[in-house]
Structure 1
Amino acid sequence: MTNWREKLRAALVIARRDFVAVIWSKTFIFFLIGPLFPVLVGGLAGNIGDKVQQSADRPSIGLAMGSGDVDRLLRARDDLDGRLAGPMPEIVVLKRLEPGEAFNPRAALSSSDRQVTAVLSGTLAAPTLSGPPERLRQWVGLVSNLAANAQADKALAYPQVAMDEVAGTAAKVRSGQAATAQGGQVVLFLLTMLLAGMVLSNLVEEKGNKIIEVLAAAIPMDAMFMGKLFAMLGVSLVGIAVWGAAGGTLVLLGGQGMPALATPAVGWPLFLVLGFLYFAMAYLLLGSLFLSVGGMASTVREVQTLSMPVSMFQLMVFFFSSYALTAAGTWVEWLSWVFPVSSPYAMLARAAQHQEVWPHILALGWQALWVVLIVRAGAQLFRRSVMKSGPSQGKGVWSRLLRRGVAKPY
């Protein structure tokens, strides 16, 4: 217990020291201006975003008619496929109705079992199309054409299609939540990549002026690494608060509203809380990797060379998490949840699309465990590459820091 208390106290000392040093430095203002340039990286996710949207909003018409009408309508769809302008929507048979059997199209649209955009019911002579208004206007002519061609034994007559407007459908809600999930992933990635580099730059500076060796001789290495991580996390939160306030002010002064996003499955309050927690975990995971890289390098050039693969790896992880949105229910999605570095992105997307809360508790614990493991591994690498021997583990951490001038009494 005493050992853990010593490590925690040492980590807090390092965190306070680094946090104050960065906040009051002259370059902090340039750090706050920095996001104006990396925002352009968001355009790189455009292609995957389009793919996510197309995957989440595949136009489909649910069919609920008598068995004979269903067969004739499907044959008519196959005959007309490729002969009409524009893509033909998929037709999904919801139910083959018995004579006199009732069917509720609105219940089928709100069901999450088979997500269809609209429902075609009634008969071929008097079809009824139920769905959102924009889809009804788009498909009413197509449905009339299909129904006319399905009645091959009669003269070609285009029936009047009754339209039953439904404000929201399960497919539309799912499409909006997928857009919210993709937007959350992009914001999380940009913030993490922009801010995690501070950990590496701070470590490089202290390695150059030998301060890191003084710290390593006074306190346990894993406590020093953890303190630096949380200091830079605190600095990042200050930057995010400043950027958020500036962005909100510009929106208010411009008189323009923010882009409308669909409400996430867990609700906006919990989604924002989870977004904050997953940002902290993503930052700590990437920051611990940067610290490990810095511990392996002996010069600034080596640090820059080794950090590039980590940055490229993080970029690939982001695109992998985004691709997992298009592969719901497959091993790709499960792997994105379990893999520690991609887990924050994938689980934030899950919060936008699923209501369950308990998986997020498990995911946060899993990610925190990997932060500890990576920090300990990075501390061991640093001890071997820089110190060549283990740091002092005795008591009196606070007094050793005071004697070396690293900490100040307060």
Structure 2
Amino acid sequence: MSAHDQAAIDASPRLSKLEAAWVIARRDFVAVLFSRAFLFFLIGPLFPVLVGGLAGSIGGQVSRQAVTIEVGLAMSAEDNAAIIGASDRLRPQLGGAIPALREVTEAQVDPNFDAQAFMEERRGNYAAIVTGSLAAPEVVGTEPHVNRWKGPVELMAADAMAASPLAFPSSRTTTVASSAASERTNRIRTAQAAQMVMFLLTMLLAGMVLSNLAEEKGNKVIEILAAAIPMDSVFMGKLFAMLGVSFVGIAVWGTLGWGFWAIAEDAIVTVTQTNFRELPGPAVGWGMFLFLGVLYFSMAYLLLGALFLTIGAMASTVREVQTMSMPVTMMQLMVFFLAAYTITQPGSALEMGAIAFPLSSPFAMLARAALEETLWIHIGALAWQVLWVGLLVKGGSLLFRKKVMKSGSAGTKKKRGWSFRRNSSEMEPAE
């Protein structure tokens, strides 16, 4: 650095709050982003996702290959044949309402066959057993299965006894692209999925704020920062630095997810039997919904992060910080449940309460963006959330400064004599 530049820096006034916050944000962002711990943090969530995907695929395959639950027939050979024929005739119209039927071998060789005792011995794979005759069939099984199969058994018996098989008229069908009911159902699903993704990302990434603060409290760096610049700037800088790091993490995970989808799209669609190319669209449109999703994720992250910083202000040890953060984590889980519950109650007092409560407001408003087209309300909600971020940061910084300055002695007073210079992230002794 030239003598002229050094003289210009020395002649510059001290940093403002915004400039100090930018210095802290830049410092924390670079320090975290290029650390080995962040690399392992990025890799860490990929293993549960991979294991979960494999487990889901294997579980689905096992479920599809499981033995079909059957209804046993323990009537006479003629009645069994008649009711099986009736099931074949009715299945094209009624589909899954007609059970898979199989004759119980034990009933054919034992004239004193007891269906109730047979079921209580849990032999075979029968959900229920039909005994008696076509005129008076008896369904033996547990109450849920009896209630499920009683009607179809009676229908098959009636068809089997009829002089001529039941004749079903041939109906015409006309399909439409969507309806009001299907559109609302799809939007509710979109709202639920968006809330879940935002909640998981917030809880996964917000912990970095707490760990960063706990680390700097342990090595006394935070006390030097508190003595050098306004604590509001320290808190705000840390929050936005961790938010920036979170977006980097989301971008990396999103890129990997997109690459995996591009490679295995056909296989995924085949396995899930869902057309992912026609995702249910939100009311405000996908472009605006994604934009609002970024804003509401930022607000949710900043609100929870500011709360974590406030906890750090009240705690005196790293263990105490971790202990005090657990109730906040549980509270955030309850807040998420509240916002998810209000999806089906738009305009109710409960939804208004979820929108007004700062921690649940981003989740409730993201759901509203999926369900309603109105945009102006999001401006007010975002302004309300920004206000609460400022209040939490201010409250946390006041608590932290009080704790730090109160716990310090002569050594702390010396640290007050340090200050940041404009256009520099270094500290110099104050005159």
TM-score normalized by the length of structure 1 = 0.66
Q: Deviations over 1:81-133 (max 9, x none)?
A: xxxx999xxxxxxxxxxxxxxxxxxxxxxxxxxxxxxxxxxxxxxxxxxxxxx
Provide the C-alpha distance between the structure 2 equivalents of 1:317 and 1:185, rounded to a whole number of angstroms.
11
Counterpart of 1:128 in structure 2 is none
Does residue 357 of structure 2 align to residue 344 of structure 1? Answer: no
Counterpart of 2:244 in structure 1 is 234
The residue type equivalent to 1:362 in the other structure is G
Does residue 302 of structure 2 align to residue 302 of structure 1? Answer: no
SS in 2 for 1:27: helix
Q: 1:268 to 1:4 in 2, by over 3 A?
A: farther
Provide the C-alpha distance between the structure 2 equivalents of 1:22 and 1:263, rounded to a whole number of angstroms.
36
Does residue 196 of structure 2 align to residue 171 of structure 1? Answer: no
SS in 1 for 2:380: helix
Residue pairs, 1:90-169, within 5 angstroms: 163-169=173-179
Q: Specify which of 411, 414, 421 is matched with residue 398 of structure 1.
A: 421
The residue type equivalent to 2:190 in the other structure is T
Counterpart of 2:206 in structure 1 is 196
Q: 1:37 to 1:361 in 2, by over 3 A?
A: farther
Contact kept in structure 2, 1:298 and 1:386, CA below 8 Å? no
Counterpart of 1:32 in structure 2 is 42
Provide the C-alpha distance between the structure 1 equivalents of 2:240 and 2:48, rounded to a whole number of angstroms.
23
Task: Name which of structure 1's ranges 256-265 and 236-245 shifts more when overlaid on structure 2.
Answer: 256-265
Q: 1:197 to 1:158 in 2, by over 3 A?
A: same
Counterpart of 1:65 in structure 2 is none
The residue type equivalent to 2:395 in the other structure is A
Provide the C-alpha distance between the structure 2 equivalents of 1:180 and 1:403, rounded to a whole number of angstroms.
49
Task: Name which of structure 1's ranges 168-177 and 321-330 shifts more when overlaid on structure 2.
Answer: 321-330
Stretches of structure 2 that go unaligned for 5 or more consecutive residues are 1-12, 54-94, 98-166, 270-275
The residue type equivalent to 2:287 in the other structure is P
Q: CA deviation at 1:334?
A: 1.1
Counterpart of 1:366 in structure 2 is 384
The residue type equivalent to 1:281 in the other structure is M
Q: Specify which of 244, 266, 281 is matched with residue 254 of structure 2.
A: 244
Q: 1:205 to 1:251 in 2, by over 3 A?
A: same
Provide the C-alpha distance between the structure 1 equivalents of 2:291 and 2:314, rounded to a whole number of angstroms.
35
Q: CA deviation at 1:338?
A: 1.2
The residue type equivalent to 1:303 in the other structure is V
Q: How many equivalent pairs are there?
A: 296
Provide the C-alpha distance between the structure 1 equivalents of 2:46 and 2:245, rounded to a whole number of angstroms.
18
Q: CA deviation at 1:34?
A: 2.6
Q: Deviations over 1:301-358 (max 9, x none)?
A: 1001100011111111111100111223321111111111101001011111100110
The residue type equivalent to 1:380 in the other structure is L
Provide the C-alpha distance between the structure 2 equivalents of 1:370 and 1:286, rounded to a whole number of angstroms.
11
Provide the C-alpha distance between the structure 1 equivalents of 2:347 and 2:196, rounded to a whole number of angstroms.
22
Q: Specify which of 295, 307, 328 is matched with residue 277 of structure 1.
A: 295
The residue type equivalent to 1:171 in the other structure is A
Counterpart of 1:222 in structure 2 is 232
Q: 1:401 to 1:216 in 2, by over 3 A?
A: farther
Q: 1:401 to 1:166 in 2, by over 3 A?
A: closer
Task: Name which of structure 1's ranges 171-180 and 387-396 shifts more when overlaid on structure 2.
Answer: 387-396
Q: CA deviation at 1:394?
A: 10
Q: 1:339 to 1:403 in 2, by over 3 A?
A: closer
Residue pairs, 1:309-348, within 5 angstroms: 309-348=327-366
The residue type equivalent to 1:376 in the other structure is K
Q: Deviations over 1:344-402 (max 9, x none)?
A: 00101111110011011111111000000000000011111222299999996426962
Counterpart of 1:268 in structure 2 is 286
Counterpart of 2:64 in structure 1 is none
Q: 1:366 to 1:318 in 2, by over 3 A?
A: same
The residue type equivalent to 1:344 in the other structure is P
Contact kept in structure 2, 1:10 and 1:398, CA below 8 Å? no
Provide the C-alpha distance between the structure 1 equivalents of 2:359 and 2:302, rounded to a whole number of angstroms.
10
Q: CA deviation at 1:160?
A: 8.1
Q: Deviations over 1:36-56 (max 9, x none)?
A: 36769x99xxxxxxxxxxxxx
Aligned alpha-carbon RMSD (Å):
3.4
Provide the C-alpha distance between the structure 2 equivalents of 1:211 and 1:237, rounded to a whole number of angstroms.
25
Contact kept in structure 2, 1:292 and 1:382, CA below 8 Å? yes
Contact kept in structure 2, 1:233 and 1:283, CA below 8 Å? yes
Provide the C-alpha distance between the structure 1 equivalents of 2:96 and 2:332, rounded to a whole number of angstroms.
39
Contact kept in structure 2, 1:266 and 1:355, CA below 8 Å? yes
Counterpart of 2:311 in structure 1 is 293
Q: 1:174 to 1:393 in 2, by over 3 A?
A: farther
Provide the C-alpha distance between the structure 2 equivalents of 1:403 and 1:164, rounded to a whole number of angstroms.
75
Provide the C-alpha distance between the structure 2 equivalents of 1:12 and 1:293, rounded to a whole number of angstroms.
23
Counterpart of 2:148 in structure 1 is none
Provide the C-alpha distance between the structure 1 equivalents of 2:384 and 2:218, rounded to a whole number of angstroms.
35
Q: Deviations over 1:186-213 (max 9, x none)?
A: 0100100000000000000000000000
Contact kept in structure 2, 1:229 and 1:284, CA below 8 Å? yes
The residue type equivalent to 2:23 in the other structure is V
TM-score normalized by the length of structure 2 = 0.63
Q: Deviations over 1:230-261 (max 9, x none)?
A: 00000000000000000000111114377342
SS in 2 for 1:263: coil
Identity %: 60
